[in-house]
Chain A
Amino acid sequence: MARIVTPGSILGKAGEVSDGLGCYVEGDEAFSSVTGITHQDGRGRLISVDVIRERKAIVPLVGSVVTCRVLRINSRFATVEILVVDGIPLRSVFRGIIRVQDVREFEVDQVDIPKSFRPGDIVVAEVISLGDKQYHSLSTAKDEHGVIHALCSQSGEAMVPINSEQMQCPKTQINEWRKVAKS
């Protein structure tokens, strides 16, 4: 049975509620931290409180998988803006950087940033640390992380990946270097 709850509403005993979004535990009881509707899994166990809003209040944390857009590149790192965290679009962007040593797992000293990303690419990455004062540090070392969408620098067409390091433009047949995400 879905229930409407406000911050501070008791959801149940701490063990009965799996720790999800919108809940917090104090003592041996679980409380709601947002206004929304309770969600249950198949066995009737309460799993989370859903805020019904256009966009949830969420920020990137260490371990979050984020989708971001490349803004600038130089030989040491790519600067990106984080758009989506764990599948939830952010209300406002956060800034992040992908350093050259975090681009891929093998032959780290051979990595060339201009051969991995270009401004405008959409990249899936993982947050590895909250970084210094301004930027979140991201990594695309895993196979499934990397460029998921890129436009050809000549024709402006969306390119299709041909292997883990190259993408091809369907119009001009030009190959371009990218750190491609394995789908």
Chain B
Amino acid sequence: MKRKGYGRGGRNEYISLDGLRVDGRRPEEVRHIACRIGTPGNSVDGNAYFEQGNTRVLATVVGPRDRKSSTHRNEEGMDLKCNYSNRQDRRSAREFEPLLENMFRSVILVDQYPKSRLDISVEVIQADGSLLCAAVNAISLALLHAGVPMKDMICAATVGMIDGMCVIDLNGYESSADGPVLQIGVLAQTGSISLLDISTRLSSTSQLQEMVSAGTEGCKGIYAVVRSEAHDLIIRLASSRGVLGA
């Protein structure tokens, strides 16, 4: 999406004199997050919808189930396959899929599921920056819905450095700024980092530290929303089955 009217004198302005970003956010502010675990009328094992500003993704999980074909990459353990689809940018799938597979293989308790297959698929409904991170968050929720055992939940956020200022959760317009962009995925409760991907060289390690700590804060904010949604799901299911008294 191309926007006009922000630019001045050939160079775009990303942060106004008041210190606000193009969409009126403060630098450390994450866009509005909405998520829904388990969309009705779906036959898959787990699914989740995740929305971060104008970025909207849908993740589904099928499995663990029997492997059908006899060609396996992993003879004994679990086959984890991720399918990412973004109709506007088909090339990104090749870059994101292995990244997502490795990331979730490290967090799912794969040794409990020998000789089985787990299929994850992510569909980008609307793209406005931070796509990989939205995909990670949506997959986390879908896995949670499928009841697949994980060590922890992964929450991810993008951090950009624009005009020497750390900005969290870049939108599509800010993603086209030429500053460094860091994608960070954090194990929500233990706080350890499971994904760290940076687009350009940084001038100093202190800059990296600043971005990482800003990103971790962003992830915490996202996790708060995600967790309350998970709690709602459990209360909803538990009370409908009379498991939980009050």
User: Which positions in A face B, CB cutoff 8 Å?
Assistant: 2, 4, 6-10, 22, 24, 26, 31, 33-37, 50-53, 55-59, 61, 91-95, 130, 133-134, 136
Contact of B151 among A8, A35, A53 (CB under 8 A): A8
B190 at interface (Cβ–Cβ under 8 A)?
Answer: yes
Q: Which chain A residue shows the least CB distance to B108? A: A33
Q: Which residues of A contact B237 (CB under 8 A)?
A: 52-53
Report how far A59 CA is from B67 CA in the complex, Å: 11
Q: 9 tightest CB-CB pairs across the interface, nearest first?
A: A8-B152, A33-B149, A8-B189, A51-B147, A94-B66, A52-B237, A92-B65, A7-B150, A57-B147
Using a CB–CB cutoff of 8 Å, the interface residues on chain B facing chain A are 45, 63-67, 70, 72, 75-76, 109, 112-116, 144-153, 187-190, 227, 230-231, 233-235, 237-238, 241, 243-244
Q: Give the residues in chain B near A53, CB-CB below 8 Å.
A: 145-147, 237
**Selected A-B contacts with CB under 8 Å, 26 pairs:** A6-B230, A7-B149, A7-B189, A8-B189, A9-B189, A33-B149, A34-B144, A34-B149, A35-B144, A35-B147, A35-B230, A55-B45, A56-B147, A58-B64, A59-B113, A59-B114, A59-B115, A92-B63, A92-B65, A95-B66, A130-B114, A133-B70, A133-B72, A133-B75, A134-B67, A134-B70
The one of B64, B72, B150, B243 that contacts A33, using a Cβ cutoff of 8 Å: B150
Point out the residues of chain A lying under 8 angstroms from B65, CB to CB: 91-92, 94
Minimum distance in angstroms from A47 CB to a CB of chain B: 15
Query: Complex formed: what's the CA distance from A70 to B148 in Å?
Result: 29
Of the candidates B63, B67, B115, B151, which one forms a contact with A7 in the assembled complex, judged by CB atoms under 8 Å apart? B151
Chain A residues whose C-beta falls within 8 Å of the C-beta of B151 in the assembled complex: 7-8, 24, 26, 31, 33
